Amino acid sequence: MAVRFSLVAQAVVVVLAIVAIAVIPSVLELFAMMQLTLFAAMAVLALSLAFIWGFGGILSFGQTAFFGLGGYAYAISAVNFQDSTPSILLAIIIPALFAAILGYFIFFGRISDVYLGVITLTVTLILFNCVNSTSGDEYRIGKALLGGFNGMPAVPTFNVPFYPDQALSPEQSWWVTGGVLLGVFLLLRLLLSLPAGRIVVAVRENEVRASLLGYDPRKVKLLAFILSGAIAGLAGALYVNWGAFVGPTIFSLSLSAEIIIWITVGGLGTLLGPIVGCVLIEYIVAYIGSQQALNSNLVLGAVLIVFVLLLPKGLVPTARDLVMRLVHAPKAKKQLVDEQVPSSAAASHMAGAE
Amino acid sequence: MAIYLIVALDVLNGISSLFLLCLGLAIIFGMMKIINLAHGEFIMLGAYATVISANAGVNIWIAMLIVAPLFVGLVGLVIERCLIRFLYGRLVDSMLATWGLSLLIIGIITTIYGNTQQGVPTPLGGFSIGSYQSSYYTLFLAGMAIGMMVLVYGVMRYTRLGLIARATMQNPAMAATLGVNPTRVYMSTFVVGAAVTGLAGGLVAPVSGITPGMGGAYVAKAFMTVVGGGAAMLSGTMSAASLFGAVNQVGAYFTTPVYGEVLVFTTAIVLIRLLPQGISGRFFKGNL
């Protein structure tokens, strides 16, 4: 009964989300819609880290490496082909390949926690330094001039697939970006409810037990890492489509830090939380940028510290717990005598099983 | 001939400044297994303390060697009491919170002093080898690195305080049973680590551009060096700093400074892949 109810509720929410994405251009002004497009692209990036960190237990300090590679792959091939159709594919494939190589190196070397952090961080720095020093005419790939620190301006934006001369309007760009966000969310949601997703979570919970049950944790982590790299690359393409520009700051450490802040604020171990955290934090940063009183670093830092110390679960899980308590509290009082004991025993059994 | 001498001096400079910049982080990581991602901002605070007191008329040596470590040590004390002490044993949370702290400190300094570059003139003059110029300050930095190494080794190895610190590092529960207060040991360790970092910040102040965001350039390198060095505080950091410092300078000499950096990062990745416990996990096991 409860399962069917929650399925119906989820279906309703998905339909509502589709309707919201569809009607937003006719409700909001152009500027607000452009901003939402940016937030949605960033939220896809947030989902990519939310998946491997929250469900795979892999904290990558360099998720921007894949984001940036996706952005550059898109920009370079879009300049060369003047058509976004193959470029978007390349923006997914190239970061995924890079993630495969890096992940093989990391997971088959059994490198974990701090060491994994150092490696992903340094890879990002390597990419930043390399791309940053590509100014000058000799650094070009095909027709695309890399431009070093100045980046690549005037990158062709998305067009209707296979019709290079029909560029998407801002409304259509929003539909694509919002649609991709919803699609990635549903994809991850589906994956996590399938056995494959459960194995990823099992490896996070107890690597030894998972391997004794016959799964290879190295392979599972590698596959999760590749999927996450592909999603981050797609986010990079969406980001470049939003601004028609890509520069080396796309690899920056501060952006890597921001993704981690989004997830911490929204709630680790959920998929909705990172999206909420991303939109909230990006909105705050944009708001602070428009006035002079406060520095955005100051606010972001304070927010992160407050959340780690006082609300370590993040917004969405905290809100969910609150709602659950409100929903269940009256029932528990009514059936205090006959339900309380078995349900708490069942709960503790569940906790033990997890 | 002169060119080799100059490159050797550069290598010496690279190693000694890297060692000085990492030592504070190594003390904190080695003792408490806390990664302080606000390390770069502690360096920045040390540099600001030096520049501001020097520009206010304080002797540059006093500003560098006394004001900077004292000030950053105090900041470290406040931070340990208000933030870090809730996070012992929670590695990821401590990284997140100190990352937040680093943003907060950058924000505060930007708000107060603005996003502009400050500086002090480099003390001590220069000398020439053949047709190349170098400065005595390079030699002074190397001397400071050796001095700090000897000091830390001496304190840790031969004093009662060092004994207590090492005991707490090895087995906090046992140390507590014997009447040591681990909370106080952790607090003082964090303060000492912060003060050493502040000193490093003061020492690099005359040779680097000082902006609120300058810490970002150091934190990744320091993080990498400390983790690459492994658990042994002194020998690990020294060996990793020697490796990375030398690779950086030699790489920069043969290519460009940018590729020198890239070479260091690549070396770090390969090193961690080959020696996941760091250099000292393999070669100096059980040393300081």
| Closest CA–CA distance from residue B234 to any residue of chain A (Å) | 19
Q: Please enumerate in sequence order all residues whose Cβ is within 8 A of that of A294, keeping only pairs 6 or more positions apart, or say none.
A: A288, B111
pLDDT at position A347 is 41
- Half-sphere exposure at residue B11, Cβ-oriented, CA atoms within 13 angstroms: 15
Q: What is the pLDDT of residue B88?
A: 80
Which site among B28, B104, B248 would you substitute to test the A interface, given the most A Cβ atoms closer than 10 Å to its Cβ? B104
- With residue A25 as reference, give the H or E element that holds it: helix A2-27
Residue A337 has a pLDDT of 46
Residues in chain B closer than 8 A to A255 (CB atoms)? none
Closest chain B CA to residue A296: B107
| B107–A253 CB contact, under 8 Å | no
Residues A321-340 have pLDDT tens digits of: 888 888 876 655 555 444 44
pLDDT band at B197 (very low <50, low <70, confident <90, very high): very high
What residue spans define the domains of chain B?
2-209
DSSP labels, A282-318: HHHHHHHHTSSSS-HHHHHHHHHHHHHHH-TT-HHHH
**In A, which residues are within 8 Å of B86 by CB distance?**
309
pLDDT digits (tens, 9 = 90+) for B213-252: 888 778 888 888 888 887 777 888 888 888 888 888 888 8
User: What's the confidence (pLDDT) of residue A181?
Assistant: 92
Looking at the complex, report in whole angstroms how far the Cα of residue A109 sits from the nearest Cα belonging to chain B: 6
Task: Say how many residues make up chain A.
Answer: 354
Predicted pLDDT at A183 = 93
Q: Is B223–A121 a contact, with Cβ atoms under 8 angstroms apart?
A: yes
By Cβ distance, the residue of A123, A294, A304 closest to B96 is A304
> Which chain A residue's Cα is nearest to B97?
A305
- Write down the mean pLDDT value for chain B: 84
Chain A residues in contact with B272 by the CB 8 A cut-off are 111, 115, 118-119
Nearest CA in chain A to B37: A257
Give the pLDDT mean for A51-72.
90
Distance from the Cα of residue B231 to its chain's centroid: 16
Closest to B144 in 3D by CA, of B226, B72, B61:
B61
CA distance A36 to chain B (A): 25
Chain B: residues touching A (Cβ < 8 Å): 35, 83, 86-87, 91-93, 95-97, 99-108, 110-111, 216, 220, 223-224, 227-228, 256, 258-259, 261-262, 265-266, 268-269, 272-273, 276
- What is the 3-state composition of chain B as percent helix, strand, coil, each rounded to the nearest 5? 75, 5, 20
Residue of B39, B272, B277 to mutate for A, most A C-beta atoms under 10 A: B272
Kindly list the residues from chain B whose CB atom is less than 8 angstroms away from the CB atom of residue A297. Answer: 103-104, 106-107, 110
Q: Give the tens place of pLDDT for each residue, B121-147.
A: 777 777 777 777 778 888 888 899 999
| Percent of chain A whose pLDDT exceeds 90 | 25
Residue A51: the pLDDT is: 93
Residue B118 forms beta bridges with which residues? B210
Residue in chain B nearest A121 by alpha carbon: B220
Q: Which residue has the higher pLDDT, A344 or A102?
A: A102
Q: What is the pLDDT of residue A354?
A: 35
The CA distance from B233 to B287, in Å, is 8
Between chain A and chain B, the number of residue pairs with CB atoms below 8 A apart is 114
Integer CA distances (angstroms), A29 to A24, A25, A39, A243, A282, in order: 9, 7, 15, 18, 18
Q: Share the mean pLDDT of chain A.
A: 82
Percent of chain A with pLDDT over 70: 90
Residue of B nearest to A295 (CA): B107
Residues forming a β-bridge with B132: B129
Q: pLDDT tens for residues B18-43?
A: 888 888 888 888 788 788 888 989 99
Express each pLDDT in A20-41 by its tens digit: 888 888 888 888 888 889 999 9
Q: Which of B199, B250, B229, B261 is nearest to B13 (CA)?
A: B250
Of A59, A129, A301, which is closest to B261 when you measure between CB atoms? A129
Please answer yes or no on whether B259 and A304 come within 8 Å at the CB atom: no
Calculate mean pLDDT across residues A64-79.
Answer: 91
Q: Is the pLDDT of residue A169 over 60?
A: yes
Q: Which positions in chain A touch B227 (Cβ < 8 Å)?
A: 114-115, 118
pLDDT tens track for A199-230 = 999 988 888 898 899 999 889 999 999 999 99
- The SS3 of residue A232 is helix
| Beta carbons of A115 and B276 less than 8 Å apart | yes
CA-closest candidate to residue A257, choices A9, A10, A36, A61: A61
Least confident stretch, A11-20, A224-233, B202-211, B254-263: B254-263
Question: Of residues A180 and A117, which shows the higher confidence score?
Answer: A180
Q: Are strands B126-129 and A144-145 parallel, antiparallel or unpaired?
A: unpaired
Q: How far is A300 from chain B (nearest CA, A)?
A: 7
What are the structure tokens assigned to B203, written together?
Answer: 């020492």
Question: Are B103 and A304 within 8 A, CB to CB?
Answer: yes
pLDDT at position B200, please?
A: 92
pLDDT at B286: 58
Which H or E run contains A145?
Answer: strand A144-145
Contact criterion met (CB < 8 Å) for B258 and A132: yes
Q: How far is CA B37 from CA A184, B98, B169, B264, in A?
A: 32, 5, 21, 20
pLDDT digits (tens, 9 = 90+) for B92-107: 788 888 888 988 898 8
Are B99 and A115 inside 8 Å of each other by CB? Answer: no
The complex's ipTM works out to 0.78
Span A293-300, average pLDDT: 78
The span from the CA of A118 to the CA of A115, in Å, is 5
Task: Name the residue among B91, B31, B21 with its Cα closest to residue B240.
Answer: B21
pLDDT for the residue numbered A331: 57
Confidence of residue B284 (pLDDT cuts 50, 70, 90): low
**Residue A250's pLDDT is what?**
87
Pairing of strands A144-145, B132-135: unpaired
Measured distance CA(B55)–CA(B245) in Å, rounded? 31
| Predicted pLDDT at B257 | 77
> Which residues of A have a CB under 8 Å from any CB of B?
59, 105, 109-111, 113-115, 117-119, 121-123, 125-126, 129-130, 132-133, 253-254, 257, 260-261, 264, 294-305, 308-309, 312
Q: Which residue of B has its CA nearest to A313?
A: B93
Distance CA B101, CA B145 (A): 28
pLDDT in the model for residue A132: 81
From chain B, the residues in CB contact with A296 under 8 A are 107
Q: Helix, strand, or coil here: B183?
A: helix
A104-115 confidence digits (pLDDT tens): 888 887 776 777
Q: Which of B85, B99, B261 to mutate to test the interface with A (most CBs of A within 10 A)?
A: B99
Instruction: State the pLDDT confidence band at A121, using cuts at 50, 70 and 90.
Output: confident
Nearest-5° Cα angle at B156, B155 to B161: 75
Quick one: what percent of chain B has pLDDT higher than 70?
Answer: 98
10 Å CB burial of residue B4 (0-12, 13-18, 19+) is: exposed
Band of residue B45 on the pLDDT scale cut at 50, 70, 90: very high
In angstroms, the Cα distances linking A194 to A191, A217, A330, B31, B166 are 5, 17, 34, 43, 49
Distance CA A93, CA A90 (A): 5
Fill in the amino acid letter for A259: I
